[in-house]
């Protein structure tokens, strides 16, 4: 229980990687502000489950990560409802797959807003409180696509490369203040975001879901296995604990060998 008494905002924590991260931090005693889209009953169930399971405070913000005003309000609500954010995990993200010349303008704007600008707005809103406390942990969920590109993902790759740059800059600006800022670059994790891509591949190639999954892993990820979201959670718990103190501005891959190629 290395994070007892700390407060974390995890964006996009109603599903996939963000939800696993929220579980890991809560398991370490951290109070959690959940965020993300989804079915109201399922979200209510999560807000009830976390305190019961982990004995921590849990609140939810429905802030839309494409709206800067709602992001600022989420940070303010966190301070009022559980206490100022000591830990911020910028995880919310969306994908759009299309050749650049056909890429819909509105999808470009949404991917950049949710996957990149949201992290800027939340960092800006929470760093002043972290500076006052001489403690803060900012973790940005980038991607292997923060380091290398894939065709047909121009907005996503641009956003993820951008968040790697944002991470390094914030790390330099906060280096003497007890705040660290790091990025994690996962390879394939089997979440709804990736399932949609597998289904599209299966349809396009008229192949089974199992074959499309094998093709997806085989194209990019040498270990040919999905990354477990709990492994990302465990890495974040390490970064948030005492031994993470000197790690800042790091761009940490957890990608089954993807970017070793």
User: Could you list the residues that contact ligand NAD (CB under 6 A)?
Assistant: 12, 14-18, 35-38, 64-66, 91-94, 114-115, 141, 143, 186, 188-189, 191-194
Of the pair 92, 212, the CB lying nearest ligand NAD is at 92
Our answer to whether residue 54 is catalytic in this structure is no
* Cα–Cα distance measured from residue 136 to residue 128, given in angstroms and rounded to the nearest whole number: 10
Of the pair 91, 182, the CB lying nearest ligand NAD is at 91
Of the pair 113, 179, the CB lying nearest ligand NAD is at 113
Q: How far is the CB of 261 from ligand NAD (least distance, A)?
A: 16
Of the pair 211, 228, the CB lying nearest ligand NAD is at 228
Instruction: Out of 156, 188, 226, 258, pick the active-site residue.
Output: 156
* Cα–Cα distance measured from residue 219 to residue 261, given in angstroms and rounded to the nearest whole number: 12
Residues 52, 100: contact at Cβ < 8 Å? no
Of the pair 99, 192, the CB lying nearest ligand NAD is at 192
Rg (CA), the chain: 18
Residues 127, 179: contact at Cβ < 8 Å? yes
Q: How far is the CB of 145 from ligand NAD (least distance, A)?
A: 7
Residues 95, 115: contact at Cβ < 8 Å? no
Of the pair 43, 127, the CB lying nearest ligand NAD is at 43
Residues 91, 183: contact at Cβ < 8 Å? no
Q: How far is the CB of 75 from ligand NAD (least distance, A)?
A: 14
Residues 21, 100: contact at Cβ < 8 Å? no
* Cα–Cα distance measured from residue 217 to residue 102, given in angstroms and rounded to the nearest whole number: 26
Inter-helix orientation angle 154-173/118-133, to 10°: 20
Q: How far is the CB of 4 from ligand NAD (least distance, A)?
A: 26
* Cα–Cα distance measured from residue 176 to residue 135, given in angstroms and rounded to the nearest whole number: 10
Beta strands in 118-208 (DSSP E): 136-141, 179-186
Residues 47, 99: contact at Cβ < 8 Å? no
Q: How far is the CB of 253 from ligand NAD (least distance, A)?
A: 10
* Cα–Cα distance measured from residue 230 to residue 21, given in angstroms and rounded to the nearest whole number: 7
* Cα–Cα distance measured from residue 161 to residue 28, given in angstroms and rounded to the nearest whole number: 30
Matching residue, tokens 């923060």: 146
Q: How far is the CB of 17 from ligand NAD (least distance, A)?
A: 4
Catalytic residues: 156
């Amino acid at each position: 229980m290395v994070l007892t008494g700390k407060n974390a905002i995890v964006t996009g924590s109603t599903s996939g990687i963000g939800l696993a991260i929220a579980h890991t931090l809560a398991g370490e005693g951290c109070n959690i502000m959940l965020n993300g889209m989804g079915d109201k009953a399922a979200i209510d169930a999560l807000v009830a489950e976390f305190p019961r399971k982990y004995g921590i405070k849990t609140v939810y913000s429905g802030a839309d990560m494409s709206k800067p005003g709602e992001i600022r309000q989420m940070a303010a609500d966190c301070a009022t409802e559980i206490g100022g954010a000591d830990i911020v995990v910028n995880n919310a993200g969306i994908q759009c797959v299309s050749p650049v010349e056909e890429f819909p303008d509105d999808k470009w704007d949404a991917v950049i807003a949710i996957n990149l600008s949201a992290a800027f707005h939340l960092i800006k809103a929470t760093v002043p409180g972290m500076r006052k406390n001489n403690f803060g942990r900012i973790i940005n969920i980038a991607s292997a696509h923060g380091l290398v590109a894939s065709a047909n993902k121009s907005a996503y790759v641009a956003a993820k490369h951008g968040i790697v740059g944002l991470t390094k800059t914030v790390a330099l600006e906060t280096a003497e203040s007890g705040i660290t800022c790091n990025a994690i670059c996962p390879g394939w994790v089997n979440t709804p975001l990736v399932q949609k891509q597998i289904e599209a591949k299966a349809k396009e190639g008229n192949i089974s879901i199992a074959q499309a999954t094998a093709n997806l892993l085989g194209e990019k990820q040498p270990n040919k296995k999905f990354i477990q979201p709990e492994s990302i959670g465990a890495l974040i718990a390490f970064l948030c604990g005492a031994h993470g103190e000197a790690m800042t501005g790091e761009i940490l891959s957890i990608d089954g060998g993807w970017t070793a190629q």
